């Protein structure tokens, strides 16, 4: 082999190495993660149990200790911290650091089974324990929904519509709404009228508890077919439906619920969360992305879908970005 042949072959190998490096660099760049705040694994869970009317000591002895004993039987537990307050038990569980994301799904499932198996030992007044283990969602798009002159329910209906539509966009993992308020119906009982009617508070509670029960009305046979009998539900609002409840008869007269109580519908006070955007009351729309997706492309898909849904936006309702991760990631890249 002469010097010329060696030089040509050496240059060919060098060019091949350069081409491979450039090709590998391009592929690596295209495969870079485009997520400003990547999802992370949290090895903690919170177990909340309501026990209305109980003192902190009763909550500790009858609820917290029962659940703690069940959780401590798991070999994965590293640390347990509990708080027992009036009517509420809160238990924070942390798993050992050796367990990773793929292990935690099975661990949380096993912990739920342990808790559910021991729920039978809780006192009758205690509610079912609620296990919260999903803390690691990172919202890539944060929107404010406002509308001057619109009441809360109108904004909530439109936000719920967007939530149901946007969760279907490919690459979107979860869509939630913030600032939602729970409705409730309040009964203000006139105790003098209640006593005059001869009914007790316990009897009133029994009537109300049976009001919304769903009962099987049976079926009838017509020829060779059976037709199910379905009681017609009330088409009135909840307030008017309660107003027509008949409690019974007293002193020869029929007694309705409205004869002894005032019925009104409002929201739970105090609310858990309230949002304001530029001084206006607002609801929020929170969008998180699925794993291993290009958030820039998903952000474009979300914007496209929102443009397609523009026809359903009431005149006067505004959508404003509080945080737009796809835009920031695109600018950064």
Based on the domain organization, do 145 and 100 belong to the same domain? no
Residue 31: what pLDDT?
62
- DSSP states of 182-242 as a string? -EEEEEEE-HHHHHHHT--HHHHHHHHHHHT------EEEETTEEEE--PPPP-S-HHHHH
- DSSP states of 22-66 as a string? HHHHHHHHHTS---SS------EEEEEEE-TT--HHHHIIIIIHH
More confident residue, 95 or 243: 95
Based on the domain organization, do 170 and 311 belong to the same domain? yes
221 within a domain of the structure (yes/no) = no
23 within a domain of the structure (yes/no) = no
Residue 5: what pLDDT?
57
More confident residue, 65 or 183: 65
Based on the domain organization, do 170 and 317 belong to the same domain? yes
Rounded to whole angstroms, the Cα distance separating 167 from 297 reads 15
Residue-wise pLDDT for 195-226, tens only, equals 777 777 777 777 777 666 566 667 788 888 88
226 within a domain of the structure (yes/no) = no
Residue 163: what pLDDT?
92
* Nearest Cα to Cα of residue 95 among 83, 111, 84: 111
Based on the domain organization, do 157 and 277 belong to the same domain? yes
Residue-wise pLDDT for 315-332, tens only, equals 889 999 988 888 888 887
CA angle, corner 295, sides to 291 and 297, nearest 5? Answer: 120
Residue 34: what pLDDT?
55
Among 127-136, 278-287, 297-306, the range scoring the smallest mean pLDDT is 127-136
Say yes or no to pLDDT of 260 above 90. Answer: no
CATH number for the domain harbouring residue 64: 3.30.70.1430
Residue 262 CB coordination number (10 Å): 11
Based on the domain organization, do 308 and 200 belong to the same domain? no
Residue-wise pLDDT for 136-153, tens only, equals 567 888 899 998 888 888
Based on the domain organization, do 291 and 308 belong to the same domain? yes
Based on the domain organization, do 162 and 281 belong to the same domain? yes
Residue-wise pLDDT for 73-87, tens only, equals 989 999 999 999 888
Residue 221: what pLDDT?
80
- In sequence order, the β-bridge partners of residue 170 are none
Could you tell me how far CA 83 lies from the centroid of its own chain?
A: 23
Among 94, 112, 132, identify where a domain stops.
Answer: 132
Which residues form the domain of 199? Answer: 185-212+234-267
* Nearest Cα to Cα of residue 107 among 17, 173, 98, 129: 98
2 within a domain of the structure (yes/no) = no
Specify the number of domains making up the chain. 3
pTM of this prediction exceeds 0.85: no
322: helix, strand or coil = strand
Residue 264: what pLDDT?
81
Q: What percent of the chain has pLDDT over 70?
A: 85
């Amino acid at each position: 082999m002469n010097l010329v042949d060696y030089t040509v072959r050496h240059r060919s190998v060098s060019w091949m190495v350069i081409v491979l490096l450039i090709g590998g660099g391009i592929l690596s760049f295209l495969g870079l993660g485009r997520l400003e705040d990547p999802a992370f694994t949290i090895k903690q869970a919170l177990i909340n149990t309501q026990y209305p009317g109980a003192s902190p000591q009763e909550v500790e002895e009858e609820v917290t200790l029962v659940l703690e004993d069940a959780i401590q039987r798991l070999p994965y537990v590293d640390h347990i911290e509990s708080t027992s307050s009036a009517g509420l038990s809160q238990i924070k569980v942390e798993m050992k650091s050796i367990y990773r994301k793929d292990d935690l799904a099975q661990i949380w499932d096993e912990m739920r089974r342990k808790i559910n198996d021991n729920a039978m030992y809780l006192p009758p007044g205690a509610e079912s324990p609620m296990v919260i283990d999903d803390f690691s969602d990172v919202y890539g798009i944060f929107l404010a929904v406002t509308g001057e002159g619109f009441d809360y329910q109108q904004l909530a209906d439109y936000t719920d519509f967007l939530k149901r539509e946007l969760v279907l966009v490919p690459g979107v993992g979860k869509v939630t709404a913030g600032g939602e308020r729970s409705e409730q119906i309040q009964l203000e009982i006139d105790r003098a009228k209640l006593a005059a009617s001869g009914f007790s508070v316990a009897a009133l509670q029994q009537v109300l508890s049976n009001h919304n029960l769903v009962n099987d009305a049976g079926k009838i046979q017509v020829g060779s077919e059976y037709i199910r009998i379905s009681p017609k539900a009330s088409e009135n609002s909840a307030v008017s439906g309660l107003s027509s409840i008949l409690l019974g008869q007293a002193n020869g007269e029929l007694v309705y619920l409205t004869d002894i109580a005032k019925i009104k519908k409002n929201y739970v006070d105090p609310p858990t969360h309230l949002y304001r955007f530029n001084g206006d009351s607002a609801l929020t729309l929170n969008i998180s992305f699925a794993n291993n997706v290009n958030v820039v492309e998903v952000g474009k898909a979300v914007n496209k879908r929102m443009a397609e849904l523009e026809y359903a936006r009431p005149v006067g309702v505004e959508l404003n970005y509080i945080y737009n991760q796809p835009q920031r990631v695109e600018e950064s890249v």
